Each structure stands twice: as structure tokens, then as C-alpha cells.
Chain A
């Protein structure tokens, strides 16, 4: 007779490890990575705004296939990169917008194309402008600006004033002179914090013309027309945006979603700004999938809201999130969110894929992933590109037969059992115990009397001992001095450390002396008497002394602490040193 043998389902890894290079040293930010078909040859390329460890020497690096294809030096450290189409030409060459400081540098065909500067905040305080125009010397100018600083606050001054106030006094004169010669005006520059793009006329074609949207450090939001490089709209924001996403069409209607640095999530359209949620921790990223907003917080939670502001769900993440990205898999009509997590033990890091609140899949990564992007790369439809915190690049391609959620859950989530299931290990009642309780019941009066009498006796004895200890100064009076001693070393040369601390609140000991009393035939000591500096309350003083054992027996050293009278004495047990005889 034969039966069916059970077949185990083979675990299938949905990703193919296409390429990995750990020696690239790509330092980048989650917002400085993009995918675009740069030459309209249906070969998508990876654009990374990389910089070195000191955030200088920034470069725009283009990867094609497994090699670096091009490199452009950037004039400043990038804060965000966005690709866009700005014309109706037949060959669709996208522009790369790189936000850096107050500027957006636009590159086309890997050549500089345009530089746009965010209009400076014009409203420099009139008082400040007056002060600068008075042409007084540096010290006077500094003084006036200091007063103004108290009035307005340091952040509301112009960069020139800020710099002057921060300069060393002897450099100020020169700074004022050079500014006077150059006749520079006062302007307040700002910095772009985050940038994204919105299609202008239609959403059907991916390569249609779009608008750049960016937020600045001055809590302003701008819409930039990239055909004429003019500002279309300008909004005030309730806080400084840290992450930005946008949904809709510029000419019809749109919703801007952003998180601020103080942990709030807002939606905003032409008419109104609405606060959806204010979190207890800052957000580390924002992902928009259709009508759903997903954000991960620094307190290891992942939240989902609708664009209307309804909370959908929130889950606890297994580790500390670093960044998150949207993974839309069209072939499976699945929209995943990838969250890269670091663990507290620093040994492992994982990429977790969530579909809704459900954990679908996880990849263990040797180094924590700092930037994720998913999309078409090369000829491939869907590639997952990750850059680790230590600058290695990983490219994974999605298998065509990939399935998610067939039991391949992350195997690392071993949660402790809930408290209610822990069984207390209470031993059984023994026969002996029962017998004893019977005895207790029968002879309760005798037991109590005996206990009472003996306890009193013990009290008296303890007090006597304590008095004796007080008289011999083994215990300090009023518990004002504390002495601890340590013996360091393996012998025969040992170091004795005596820590003295004044615990009393009222008095300070001025002329304490520490004396070591020892058996001269066993030990040798250079300075058996030491002066202690004045002991103020709660300060610990360490007295060190060297001692040499001359016989291999364990013995005592008595430490005496006194000023006019003996304050404290203590024994230090010196361990037997067995190295002496063998060395002789």
C-alpha cells in the first residue's frame, strides 16, 4: 500500500541579486536618488547625488547597468534630486533638478542647463538695514546688532549680521570693511529642505511636463514652472517641512502632504492647510500610494492615513527604521512599502516589505540600508536599488514568477510570551511545613515570648557592639565619613586605594591624615602617612599608596583616619601573594 507523500512548499526568493558592489563608497541621502531614462533610449539609469563623509565634494553619479556611466561635479551638497520633463520635443530628455542650499541646479544631457535661486526673503528688518547703513566701526555695529538680537531673535537676523556676531572680536573689523568695499546688500537666503514634482496638464503620460514643488527653511512652499523658471505659486507653511509628497494635477487640483520637523503631518491645497496628526516622534519618511499616506516614525512605528485625514492603521516595526520607499508591483497589482530597519545590537539589519499593516517579506542586509528606490532600471521593469549606510550599492531584480506572502514571513520576530502565561514556580507544601504550622498554632504564646525576649537581647547586643565600634572608630560618628578601600595588583607590589567621602551636610574636614598601620615584617611601605586635602561634603577623595609584600601570608593593614581625634579606622585584607618565593 502506498500513500501520498506530503510535499513541502519550496521557499521562493522573489528577488534576483543582480549586482552588488560594496567598494563604491556612495554616501547619499534617501532623497538624493532617482531613476530616469536620460537619453530616451528605453534604458533607465540611476542618478545618485553622492558626497564624501564630510558632506563636501558632491558629485552627481550616473549608473548604467553595472558600471558608472557619468559623473558631474556639483557646486554644493545636494539636499534633494528630482527628474522632470520640461518640453514637448520628440526626444524626451529629462532634466535633473538638484536642490542645494538656496539653488536648484538643472542638468540636461549631463551638462549644466540652468541655475535657479530661490528669491531671498526681502523683508530684512528695516532697523537692521539702518544699522548697517550707518557705516560705524565694528565694535559699535556689534553692540547695536546685539541689542537687535535681543529684540528679534538670532534666527531673524540676516546672514551677514549673524556671521558678524559669531566672528572672533579681532576679525570683525576686517569683515565690516570688506563688506563696505563690496557694497553688498542685506539679503536673507534660505535653504531648500525637500523637493518633489507634480504633472502639470495630464497624468496619463509619464513623460509629460511637470512642475517642481519645494519647501524651504523659511517655512515656504513654492511651485516652480520649469519651462520659464518662474514661480507659479507661493504658500506659507505651518512649520518647516522635512518630507514632501504631492498628489493631483497642477492645473486641476492637488493636495500637498508634508511632515514637519516637530512631528506633525499636514495636508494642504490652494485653500486650506489641515493638520492630520501630530506624532510623539519625528517622521523619517513619507510615502504616498493612491489615497493612502504612509509614514514611519523614529519610535519604530509605521502609520497609515487617508488623504482625507482618516487614520487607517499603525503597526510596531521590529527595528529602528532608517528610510522607507514605495514598491508598486503592477504585475501583481500589489503596493508594498519597503522599510529599512536597523537593530539595536548593530549586527543585523533588514528590509521589511509591508502590504497594508501586513508584513509580507523581509530581506536581511549585511549593512543597514540608507536609501531605497524601486522602478525601471536598464531594460528591467522593476528593480529594487538600495544603498547602504556604508556606501555599497545593491541592485535586485524582481522575478517574473515572484509571489509575496506565501508564508515567507520574517523569521526573526520572536516575541516574548505575554505576561499572563508565565507560570510562577511555587513549590508544593511539604509535610514538614504542615507539621511546623501545627507547632506554631499549639505553642504560639511560648514562641512569641521566646522571640520577644531574644530579640530584645539581640538589640542590646547590637547596640553594645555598635558602641564598641564607635569607641574604636570602626564606625564614624554621625556617619559623617565613608571609607572604601581597594587593593589593586597581583602582588608583591600592590596599590592600596582608599576612597574617603564626607557624607555630613554640615561640617568640612580640614586637616585629615590617613595612616596605614601594618606589620613591618610582612609589608614594606614608602609613605605610610598621607595628608588629605580639605574634604568638602559629597566630594570623594582618593588616597593611594604602594605596598610591597615581603612574605607570602595574607594579612591585614589598618587604615586610621584622624584630625584632632581618631575619626575612622578600617581593616584592609591584603591577599596572599604567592609570587614572592618563586622570584627569590
Chain B
């Protein structure tokens, strides 16, 4: 069989390693075979290419270096200042992660860290579960760098510095694969940008594809506004889904959720019922704490794609925190039917069973969750079991569970808080106090810790500390009635002669 034909076939069957070997054979014989050269480039690129439209974790440095962001945005127009009203209307507030974001149905980039200033990000204590990368770009770049070194033992495939970019840019069949190779495989964005500029000259700036790539390069350099103009121009040439998604991503980076939403809606008029666009909208709504609308869009996603794990999980979480665990249970069961089999799912199933009063299933779910759990999940599973134990009034067991959770993850603030409450019930006030103090330094965004500390200090008569701590609690959760009541009591006490 012809070697090139088999290489092509292997490329189509995604056997990139064999394809590359075959291409290398051809190139050894005839070094100027453009077809083989291009195919090898494509194969190398396909090995390492990632779906870069999927949102990435915003790095600490990136969020600060951007100067265009308004520092004090109006509520609801920024991820940093989401509306609180919506969450209040729901009744119960969703619990927050250690870094201060309300929990979401799925863990995805962006749900871990809270958006804030550099100072806030640095002050948030880092552990493997809550650390944000310093910059967004480097994470991917490193992986690619090592990958290329492993595959290329006898030097790089293309000497980029010797490449005549203008020549290759004019050859249409080669220019695009070459760009992708430089962009994804070599990760040399500057040179990729040079190639884009050359190619744009050739096509007289009339090719949306090159415009999009130009925008992507700008995005990586953090030049959001330049990227925006490029992508807008690309949209004018030809409205494509990829450009819309990239533009949405830029607006999210610029912290303009409202513009991003508008853009998604216009895109939806062109691409009706497109799941990726709906997902973006739902995520943005979740980011600005507008849970009901977010759930509405997740539902729409399920109409189009009944197997969408993210949508099912997010709707389930919504039902769970709006006091309908029996409905949440049904959604989680659906996930189980779809073949998701992990500790998180069984943990959630157990919780739903317990709160929906299906007691016969609870323990078996948690046992399975424990057997499937890895290190950090296990802490959360133990924490949830302690909740069940508290629910059936087995406080000794609850304490053991919390201690186990803390032995796995010593900075589990919620567990610390609950242990403090249990210790208080055991009349170990000083232990309870020190636990609360330690926990509130780890997770300053949990108002329960502050409130409990304020209550304790008030009880022992340290009114001044209580006053300062309860103010922190109100700062974190302005609608907490008990904190307000405590503050009022303290104020009347202070003004009393």
C-alpha cells in the first residue's frame, strides 16, 4: 500500500503516532513533500490540541493586570458584585466554598475561585483544592512544551526561526495547518501572530478564520480590547459559532456579564437552540447569582441534549437547595443511569435520600461514596455523614465523623465550625472558641463562623470582640437576621449607662 495513503488513513482513525512515523518515512526520502509535511504537522497538532473554547480558570495575575475593569460595579452587572436579592428570594442560601463562591452543580473552571482583587485572591489561603493558578496561560503551555520534547528526541520537527513565514502564508493549503502547529504544538504565540499578519496581507483581511486566530493571539497576550475588535470584524465577515463563543469568553474575562449575555442571545437567533451557547448563558447567570434564570437555561439544554451532565447536575443542586430533595433525587438517579459513577454522585444521592426521607437507601449510598472517594472528597463525605448523624441525634458519631473529615482535610472550615458547635454543647467553650478562630482565618467568607464566634464572645462577656466579629458576619451575609439582632443588642448595651 502507498505509505502516504496509509498515513492518511491512520490520521483519520486517530492513530497519530503511526501516522507521524509514516510521514517521517516519506519526508526522509523526499524532504520537500508538502503533503506529507502538512499531514505530519496536522497529526502532531491533533495529538496535543485541546478545546480552548471551554472556559479556563482565570489566573490571579490576569484578573489584576486588566485595568479596564470597573472596580465598583453596580450589583448584577459584574461577577465581583453579584446580586444578593436573588439568593435571598430562594429562601435558603446555598453554602459557599472556602473561597466564597456559592457551590455549583459541577466543578468547572471558574467555580472554585471567587472573583476579586489580587489582594483577596492572595489572602485566600491556598490548598490544592482552592489554589488559583498565577496566570491562565501557563498551565496549558507547560503541558504542551513537555509533550513536544517527548515526541521529538532528535530535535524539533520544524525549525521555526528559519521558516520563511511570508512564503508559507501565501500557500493556502499549508498556512492554516502551519498556524495551528505553531499555536497549539509549539505554543509560540508571537511567531503565530507573525504568520497571521502575513496571511492577512495575502487574503486582504477578508478571511474570518485568520481574524479569529488574530483575536485568539491577542487574547493570550491579554489585549482584550484588540481581541474584541478582531473578533467583531470576523463576525461581520461571517457569523460563526466559534467566534461568538470566543467573544463571550472575552467579555467574561472583561467582567461584563451583561454584554456577554446580550451577545449570546444574538447568537442564539442565528444558531437556534445551540447547546454551547445555552450553556454559556446558564453559566453566566449562575456567576451573577441569578439561579432561577440559570436553571431555566439548563432546562432548555436538557430539551436539546438529554444527556448533558452539567445541566442535570446543576438543576439537581438547585432543587436540593430549594427544599425539594425528592426532585433532586430523581435528577441524580438519572445521572446514575447515564453511567456517572463517582463519590460525589453517591454522596449527593445519600443526602437527597436522607432529606427526602428515604432512609433505607441513605447509608448504602454513603458507604459506596466512601469506597469511591479519593482524599479530598472523603473529607466532604465524612462531613455529610456527620450531618446525617446530627439529624438522627447521634452526636458522638457526628463528632467522630467530623474529626475524621478534619484529619483528611485540616482546613475544612465548615467541619471546623460544626465541631465547634458540638464542643460547645459538650461545654468545652475554650476549645470551641479556638476552633472557630482557626476556621475563620482559613475561610473568612463563611458567615456562620463569624456569627458563632460573636455569639460565643458575647456569652463570655467580651462585648467588644463580639461587636467587631458580628460586623464581619453582616459584611459577608448582609441579610442574616440573627447577626443584625445580635448587633442591635450589643449597641443598646453599649449605649446603656
Contacts and interface: CB of A to CB of B under 8 A. Distances in A.
B392 interface: yes
A469 B324 contact: no
A226 to B, nearest CB: 36
Contacts of A578: 133-135, 138-139, 142
Contacts of A579: 134, 138
B142 A262 contact: no
B364 A436 contact: no
A457 B404 contact: no
Contact of B366 (A436, A458, A463): A458
A482 B410 CA distance: 9
Contact of B410 (A451, A463, A485, A552): A485
Chain A at the B interface: SS class: mixed
A581 interface: yes
A402 to B, nearest CB: 35
Interface in B347-405: 356-360, 362-364, 366-367, 370, 375-376, 385, 392, 394, 397, 400-401, 403-404
A175 interface: no
B326 A462 contact: no
Contacts of A432: 326-327, 330
Contact of A486 (B60, B138, B385, B411): B411
Given A263-B497, A281-B497, A490-B134, A554 B360 contact: no
A360 B227 CA distance: 56
A465 interface: yes
Contacts of A450: 359-360
Nearest to B322: A427
Given A450-B360, A474-B407, A475-B403, A484 B438 contact: yes
Interface string B300-335: 000000000000000000000011101100100000
Interface stretch (B121-129, B158-166, B192-200): B121-129
B363 A425 contact: no
A575 B126 contact: yes
Contacts of B60: 490
Q: Which of B129, B327, B431 has the most CB of A within 10 A?
A: B431
Interface string A433-461: 10010001000001110110011011101
A571 B375 contact: yes
Interface residues of A, number: 64
Given A446-B360, A455-B392, A499-B438, A570 B407 contact: yes
Contacts of A573: 127-129, 375-376
Contact of B357 (A440, A463, A571): A440
Nearest to B370: A461
B403 A582 contact: no
A280 interface: yes
A454 B360 CA distance: 8
Contacts of B356: 433, 436
Given A446-B360, A487-B126, A582-B138, A463 B400 contact: yes
Chain B at the A interface: SS class: helix
Contact of A482 (B138, B366, B401, B438): B438
A481 to B, nearest CB: 12
A299 interface: yes
Contact of A299 (B133, B330, B434, B495): B495
Interface in B80-109: 89-91
Given A263-B497, A486-B442, A582-B141, A469 B404 contact: yes
Contacts of A279: 497
Interface in B462-497: 492, 495-497
Contacts of B367: 454, 457-458, 461
Interface of A: 262-263, 279-282, 298-299, 424-427, 430, 432-433, 436, 440, 446-448, 450-451, 454-455, 457-459, 461-463, 465-466, 469, 474-475, 479, 482-491, 499, 501, 503, 538, 540, 552, 554, 570-576, 578-579, 581-582
29 contacts: A280-B496, A281-B495, A299-B492, A299-B495, A425-B90, A425-B91, A432-B326, A433-B356, A450-B360, A451-B360, A457-B363, A461-B370, A462-B404, A466-B400, A466-B403, A475-B404, A482-B438, A484-B411, A486-B126, A487-B131, A499-B438, A501-B434, A503-B434, A538-B430, A575-B126, A578-B135, A581-B138, A582-B138, A582-B141
